[in-house]
Amino acid sequence: MTKLKDIDFKILFGLMKNSKTSDRQLAKRIGVSQPTVTRRRARLEKELIDGYTAVPKWEKIGYEILAITLIKAMGIFTSKEYADIRNQGLEWLHKQPNIIIGGACEGMGMNSFIISLHKSYSDHSEFMLKLRLERGTSLTIFKPFLLTLEEQDA
């Protein structure tokens, strides 16, 4: 794809905020014609947009907390040991129904992260205990950051 122009970024960010926005609404918001948005959107979808996804109203289906947990994996491992630990960790992540995503990261002295949903603080505490008990041999520091999913009045 050729270098993105300002209008492409405006369309892309508009779609990231609400992928159901019509080309007509985007065009009005951006200040260009609807055919321009349609043409550029089609090109973005073909070359840059990986897909669209549904974002539930989590609180309406019983989830109160979104947790971002930063993790420090400690130890000196051979490349085979590291690969084994990584594969076991990925397998564990895939078995947890409340984990949205997890993986490697860098910063604040941490090297892994998990983003998960929880129905309550006690549900989150049970999750953290399970994480420590089942994966604690290779993971030593856990720093959860909790966000409430309740609708807030503006």
Q: Which CATH architecture has domain 58-148?
A: 2-Layer Sandwich (3.30)
Is 6-47's fold the same as 58-148's?
Answer: no
CATH of domain 6-47: 1.10.10.10
H, E, C per residue of 55-117: CCCHHHHCCCEEEEEEEEECCCCCHHHHHHHHHHHHHHHHHCCCEEEEEEEEECCEEEEEEEE
Q: What residues does each domain of the chain span? A: 6-47, 58-148
User: Does the predicted TM-score (pTM) go above 0.85?
Assistant: no
Virtual CA dihedral for 28, 49, 106, 71, nearest 10 degrees? 100
What does each of the 154 residues of the chain score in pLDDT, given as a tens digit? Answer: 578 999 999 999 999 999 999 999 999 999 999 999 999 999 999 999 999 988 888 888 999 999 999 988 777 678 888 788 888 888 888 999 999 999 888 888 888 899 999 999 999 999 999 988 888 777 778 899 999 987 655 5
Half-sphere exposure of 143 (CA within 13 A, CB side): 12
Distance (Å, rounded) from C-alpha 151 to C-alpha 64?
Answer: 10
Contact 145, 65 (CB under 8 A): no
